[in-house]
A and B are shown apart, each in its own frame.
Chain A
Amino acid sequence: MGELKLMKGNEAIAEAAIRDGADGYFGYPITPQSEVIEYLAAQQPEERTGMVLLQAESELASINMIYGAAGSGKKVMTSSSSPGVSLKQEGISYIAGAELPCLVLNVVRGGPGLGTIQPSQSDYFQSTKGGGHGDYHLIVLAPASVQEMYDFVELGFDLAFKYRNPAMILSDGAIGQMMEKVEIGEQKPRMTEQQIKEKYPWATTGKTPDRERNIITSLELDSAKMEKFNEKLVEKYRTIKENEVRYEEIQCEDADYLLVAYGTSSRICEKTVEMARQEGIKLGLLRPITLFPFPSQRLAEYAQKVKGIMSVEMSSGQMVEDVKLAVESRVQVEHYGRMGGIVPSAEEVLQALKQKFL
C-alpha cells in the first residue's frame, strides 16, 4: 500500500501529475481550483522531476502552450474552472483536430457567465458534446472522491495517449475543495526524448533524414480529405465507446428505481440510497465514471428491469438527455437538480424521487 495522505481534491490532482511523470502544467488561476497551481508552485516540480510549471498570462495562452507541448509528444495538462474552460475551448478544439493527447481539468462552478464560485455540474454539455467548434469529443472522466481525483490523472493521460485525444477530468468545487484520504502512488519517471521519439512517431521531435516531416495541424482545405479525417475521428470515438465505458453500480441488482448521478451528486445519492433502503424502497445508483463514453448500454439494460430512472445533477438537466437517449422511452425518466452552486441534500433527492414515482 502506498503512502496515505489527507489532501484536497485539487492538491491530489497536482501531486498525481508530478508522480505520473507529467512534463508540464500550464495554467491560470481561478476559484475554486487555484490550489492546483498553488500546490504545484509549493512543490517546485522542476526540482522534483524536471516538470515545467508555468502560470501563463491567460487561459488562451495556457491552452496554446498545451497545444504546442502536446505536439512534441510531451505529457502536459492544464486546469481551470468553468469561465476559464470556456476561454480554452478554441484551443481544445484545435488539439482535438490535431489529434493530440493532453489532460484538462475543469473544477466546475455555477454559471452561466462568471456565475458563482460554488460547486455545480452545469458544464456537462460543454464537456461531453465537444465544447468548442467542430465534430469532436473529449474523453470525460468524472471523479467522485479525492482518491479518484488522484487516480484519474494517470487514467486520463493513459487514455489521452492511447487514443491521441484530449481527455478531461470533470470535477466540481466540492470535490476540488474537500479533503479525504488518498493513497499516493510511486514516482514514475518522465519519458526521455528518445523514448518519446520511439513511442510517438507522430510527435514533432526534430526531423531526422530517415523519415518524413511530422506536421501538427487541424487545417485541411480539401473537403474530401477533411471528410476522410472526420470519418477517422468518428471511428475513433466508436472504438472509445466500445472499450472505455466505466461506471459503478450501488445496490442496483434488485432495484425498482434507479438514480443516475456522477461526481458530487453521486455521493449525495449514495446516501439517498441508504435512506431509501431503510424505508423499504428498493433504490439503486448507477454512477457513470466516464461521461464520454456514456454507459448507455448498461442503462438500456436497466430500462427493461426498473420502474423508473431519475437523473440527479447540479444543473437544470443535462445528463438526463443522455439517460433518455439510452433508455429510448422504455421507462419513465425524470430529472432532479439544484443550480447556482447549491448542492442538493440526500433528503430532498429522496423526496423528489417519491414525488415523481411513488
Chain B
Amino acid sequence: MSEEIIIAGFGGQGVLSMGKILCYAGIVQGKEVTWMPSYGPEMRGGTANVSVIISDERISSPIISEFDTAIILNQQSMDKFENSVKPGGYLIYDGNGITRHPERTDINVYRVDAAAEAAQMETTKTFNMIVLGGLLQVKPIVEMDKAIEGLKKSLPERYHHLIPVNEKAIHRGTQIIQEVRKAKVEA
C-alpha cells in the first residue's frame, strides 16, 4: 500500500499539522512516511501545502506531482491541484470560500464543510481535525485510534488538555463528510 496525499489551503488552517498527524499515525502503524511542505516564497504569499506519502515500502521520491488524494481548503488550491489527482482518486474539499467547485468526473469528490462546523464548536482551531475525520471516513489510510495517537505525539504536552476537543472534532468530521459524486469509470 502506498498513499500519496496533498493537503492544501491557507497558512494557519493547520494544513501542515494535519499532515504531521497523518505521518505520526503512519509511524505508529509501522509504515514509512514522508512529509514535504511547500516553503519559501509560495508560503510567504499565504498559501500552504504539504504532500504526504504513507507507504508499506521504502519511499522513493518525496516530491510528487500526482496524488491519490487531494484535500483542498481554498480556491487557489482548487485551481492548482484539482488536475493533479490521479484518475479514480479522491478530492475532498471544504466549500467555504469556494467559488468554482470541482468539475472532474473521473475522480471521487467529497465535501466536508469543516469551517462552518468548526464555528459551532468550542474552538475554531479544530477545523483541520474535522477535515482529518472526514478524510479517514472515506479513506481509512490509518486506523482511527492511531490517528488519535498521532495527534498526541505531534502536539506539545502543554496542549494535551486540548486532545478531547480535537478527538471530538475528528469524530464530527466522520459524520459530516458528504459524497458529491463517485468517479465515472470509463468502460
Contact = CB atoms under 8 A, between A and B. Distances in A.
Contacts of A4: 27
A117 B40 CA distance: 6
Interface string B46-82: 0000000000000111110100000000000000000
A177 interface: yes
A174 B154 CA distance: 21
Contacts of A274: 60
Among B23, B32, B62, chain A packs the most CB atoms within 10 A around the CB of B62
A178 interface: yes
Nearest to B32: A181
A30 B71 CA distance: 31
B40 A31 contact: yes
A264 B61 CA distance: 8
B130 to A, nearest CB: 22
Interface in B21-60: 23-24, 27, 32-37, 39-41, 59-60
Contacts of A343: 63
Given A4-B27, A180-B34, A181-B32, A32 B39 contact: yes
B120 to A, nearest CB: 31
B40 A270 contact: no
Contacts of A267: 60-63
A126 interface: no
B62 A177 contact: no
A180 B51 CA distance: 12
A54 interface: no
Interface string A265-301: 0011011011000000000000000000000000000
A178 B60 contact: no
Given A178-B35, A179-B20, A181-B33, A268 B40 contact: no
B48 to A, nearest CB: 13
Nearest to A182: B27
A326 B90 CA distance: 47
Interface string A314-358: 000000000000000000000000000101011100000000000
A39 to B, nearest CB: 13
A118 B63 CA distance: 13
Contacts of B154: 6
Given A6-B20, A267-B63, A345-B65, A179 B34 contact: yes
Among A178, A274, A341, A343, chain B packs the most CB atoms within 10 A around the CB of A178
Contacts of A118: 40
Given A174-B63, A181-B27, A6 B40 contact: no
Interface string B144-167: 000000000110000000000000
A47 B59 CA distance: 36
A179 B60 contact: no
Interface string A132-174: 0000000000000000000000000000000000000000011
Contacts of B34: 178-180
A216 B28 CA distance: 50
Among A4, A6, A32, chain B packs the most CB atoms within 10 A around the CB of A6
B35 A180 contact: yes
B109 to A, nearest CB: 26
A173 B37 CA distance: 11
Nearest to B35: A179
A264 B63 contact: yes
A268 B39 CA distance: 19
Contacts of A32: 39-40
Contact of B24 (A6, A116, A270): A6
Interface string A4-31: 1010000000000000000000000001
B23 to A, nearest CB: 5
18 contacts: A6-B24, A6-B27, A32-B39, A116-B40, A173-B39, A174-B36, A174-B62, A174-B63, A177-B37, A178-B36, A178-B62, A179-B33, A180-B33, A181-B27, A264-B63, A270-B60, A345-B63, A346-B61
Nearest first, the 3 closest Cβ-Cβ pairs linking A and B are A270-B60, A179-B35, A271-B60
Given A6-B27, A117-B40, A173-B40, 5 more contacts: A6-B20, A31-B40, A117-B39, A178-B36, A180-B62
